[in-house]
Every structure is written in structure tokens, then in C-alpha cells.
Amino acid sequence: MLRQLSICLVLSALAFVGWVNFAPGARQTLDEYGISVPFLSESAQAAEGGPARGGGPSGGFGGWQTNVVTTPVTLATINDSLTALGESAAARSVTVTSPAGGTLEELLVAPGDVVEAGQIIGRLNSAAQSLARDRAALALQNAEATLERQQELARSNLVASSALSTAQLDADTAELELRSAELELEERQIVSPIAGTVGLMQVTPGNYVGSQTAITTIEDTSSLRVNFWVPERYATIVRTGMQIDAMPVALPGEVFSGEISAIDNRVETESRTLQVQATIPNDDGAMRPGMSFSVSMAFDGQQFPAVDPLAILWSAEGSYVWKYSDGRAERVMAEIVQRNSDGVLVRAELQQGDPIITEGILQLGDGDEVNLLSGPDGNQNAEAEPADAPVEQEEG
């Protein structure tokens, strides 16, 4: 039993030594887990007559170099533009209602007419109110005549002061009654509160309308408000006054410039978007409220190094890449920011043009000497040795 156990231990040790010395990436795996095997390095050096992996000018296990291919780092900018769909509304829109109840006698405008603020657009039947106004006017005239007679008598000391006060009160009351009658008569007129374009009529003459019945809609379309929504990540960089380009879906090729006029005070929790409102001019009236727009905005953006997707590797510490530097492989930690079809944007200490190893990466260790087959310019290394050929070492 003891002999069999000893044989198993010896075979396991030999298998471990063979795996470390000949399996690609074995030493790298041990390094990642913090396992140090200095005696194996010494044995490997003695067996091959040269330094251990990464420990001498020839690099690799027993003087072997890994053939590699590199691609250059490029710089890519993200979050530098935004395109969103929006819907327009008039700068000002008012639903005109009847100020009082009664029979609609006439409409003075038609859909599409342009009206001014304060312009009368319709009238209700006002016969009763006209009579009340005339009656109040006569009552005021009578009260004023009585007051004048009382004032003449008061100057001659022929009337008491109380009678003069009563006459004055009657005259003031009659004046208020007249003003009230005139106000009721004025409310028989339907007036446009703003300047704009008249919409479709909701009633016709002869209909009875209530005190809040909608008559029509008047919209000021001299400019349009475009409402659109931006992703949450833009919430901190969108500002009022920023320029936008709005392209109406109904007018292909037309681009209207405007600026952000308002921003909502909260992010929608369900969609994780922020509502933004922009104003664009519409002096010629070519656009109508309710039209959809494609809104685009430009930002400074963020710039990150972009590497080939094949160059990304993972360890217990996170993602990293191998950088070719002076004939050696240098491990650089690279946090992934965004994956694109043509490259991976990373947050790493890399510069534009840095050569990143994309082939032969599984056999590398930090500081290993490598044999470059193809560089950033795509040219083949004329002096490159075959992938399995040992590197000659100087004797002695």
C-alpha cells in the first residue's frame, strides 16, 4: 500500500512538472492564483541550458519564444451625439369656451383663419341682456337727476343731509347695476384670448352652449415646441439653451435649428428617460402641431481606447490585454466600457497606436519575450521564426 502511494505521488509530481513546463498558459495560471514554483524554474533552466520563462533574453520555456500578431489601439468617442424622436406642439394653444350659457347666434370666423388677441369670433343671443342694459341705463339717469336736485336743495339748506346721502347712494347703486348689465351683455360675445390660427369648430350656430362649452381651438404656430425623451445617462449634460436640429418626418431633407427651452425636473422611473422640450421657429407656417420630428444633438463626448475583441482576456483581477513593448509582452488591465462590432472600448493606460497582441495570447506571461510576426502596419516580420522553432542561444 505504501509503495503504491509513493508511486502515485511521484507520477503526480512528474505530471505537474510536465504541465507547468509544456502546457500553454500554465505558468500564467499559477501566477494568477499566487502560486510560486521557483524550483521548477531552476529545473527547467538546467534542463534547457538557459534561463526560465521571462527570465532571460530568449524568453519562454526553455528558450522558446511565442509568435504573436498585433493590432494598433485606436481612439473612439462615445456619447458625442444623440438622436431621438419627438412630437411637436404649438407654442401656445387655447381651447376657446363660451363665457356664458345661451343659444349660439353666429360664428364670425372659419377654421384656418388667423385672428388677433381680443378679436370676437362668435356671439350668443343677447336680446334679454340688451334690454337689461337699457333698463339699467335709464335707472342710472333717473338716479343721477334725483341726486342733482338734492344737491341744489342742499346748497339752499332746504333738504336734510340724510336725504342727500340717500340720493348719492341710489345713484352709485344704479351705476353698479348698469356696469353689471353691460358685463352680462359683453359675455354674450366669444373672444379669442390669443393671436393664432383657428381650428375646427366644435359647435354650429343655433346650438345651445353651456358656460364652459368648447367652441374651437386657437393655436399660436409662429414657433413649435418639440417634446422628446433622452436616456438617463444624458441627464447631467443636457442644458437649456443647447442647440438642436429637428427634421420633420413629413418633410424629408428639411432641417430646422432650435434650442432646448425646458427640461423636466425628474427622470421617469419606468423608462429611465428624461423629458426635454425644444423650441423651433415656424415663421412660414410650414409645420403643424402634432407632427413628429427626429431630433439630433451634439455633445463633447468621452474618448476611450478601442482594442480588437480578440485581445480581451480575463483573470481573477478582471479583464486585461497584452501590449507588445520592446520585444516583450506586457499585461495591461483594461476595464470594458462598451462593446462595438468593430472593437471594444476600454478604460486602460493605453495610447493611440499602441500595439496590442491579438494572436498567441494564451501562451504568454507578463514580461515574456515574443516573436512579432505582424505589427500594427500589417507587415510581416521577415526574420520571424516558425511558431515551433526554438530560439538559438549563445554558448557559454
Same domain as 114, residue 24: no
Among 275, 301, 327, identify where a domain stops: 301
User: By the 8 A CB rule, do 123 and 188 touch?
Assistant: yes
Q: Name the grid cell of 107.
A: 360664428
Greatest C-alpha distance within the chain: 151
Task: Kindly state the average pLDDT of the residues 213-236.
Answer: 91
Residue 204 lies in a domain: yes
Same domain as 195, residue 163: yes
CATH of the domain at 230: 2.40.30.170
pLDDT at 363: 78
Instruction: Identify the sign of the CA torsion 255, 258, 261, 264.
Output: positive
Residue 214 lies in a domain: no
The structural domain count of the chain equals 3
pLDDT at 15: 78
b/e per residue 239-257 (b: at least 16 CB within 10 A): eeebebbbbbeeeeeeebe
pLDDT digits (tens, 9 = 90+) for 40-77: 443 343 333 333 344 334 444 445 678 889 999 998 88
Give the integer Cα–Cα distance in Å for 256 and 220: 18
Smallest Cα–Cα separation from 297: which of 60, 130, 84?
84
pLDDT at 77: 81
Same domain as 186, residue 108: yes
Smallest Cα–Cα separation from 187: which of 98, 94, 106?
98
CB atoms within 10 A of CB 180: 13
pLDDT at 36: 59
List Cβ neighbours of 49 (8 Å cut-off, separation of 6 or more). 63, 393
Same domain as 313, residue 297: no
Q: Name the grid cell of 184.
A: 352680462
Same domain as 87, residue 21: no
pLDDT at 332: 93
Report residue 286's pLDDT band, with 50, 70 and 90 as the boundaries: confident
pLDDT at 31: 64
Report residue 376's pLDDT band, with 50, 70 and 90 as the boundaries: low
pLDDT at 60: 46
pLDDT at 162: 80
- Parallel, antiparallel, or unpaired for β 370-374 and 66-72? parallel
Give the integer Cα–Cα distance in Å for 308 and 72: 9
For the cut 90, the answer to whether the pLDDT of residue 298 exceeds it is no
Same domain as 98, residue 60: no
pLDDT at 33: 63
For the cut 90, the answer to whether the pLDDT of residue 161 exceeds it is no
pLDDT digits (tens, 9 = 90+) for 63-121: 567 888 999 999 888 877 888 999 999 989 999 999 899 999 999 999 999 999 999 99
Q: Give me the chain's average pLDDT, please.
A: 82
Task: Kindly state the average pLDDT of the residues 295-302.
Answer: 84
Residue 215 lies in a domain: no
Give the integer Cα–Cα distance in Å for 23 and 19: 5
Among 261, 280, 301, identify where a domain stops: 301
Same domain as 393, residue 308: yes
- pTM for the model: 0.55
Domain that residue 251 falls in: 82-91+220-301
Task: Kindly state the average pLDDT of the residues 158-184.
Answer: 88
pLDDT at 7: 82
pLDDT at 63: 52
Same domain as 264, residue 193: no
Q: Which amino acid is at 184?
A: E
Same domain as 355, residue 282: no
User: By the 8 A CB rule, do 274 and 229 touch?
Assistant: yes
Among 276, 301, 326, identify where a domain stops: 301
Report residue 10's pLDDT band, with 50, 70 and 90 as the boundaries: confident
- Better-scored residue on pLDDT, 8 or 225: 225
- Parallel, antiparallel, or unpaired for β 196-198 and 114-115? antiparallel
- Bridge partner list, 258: 244
pLDDT at 374: 67
Same domain as 204, residue 270: no
- Bridge partner list, 290: none
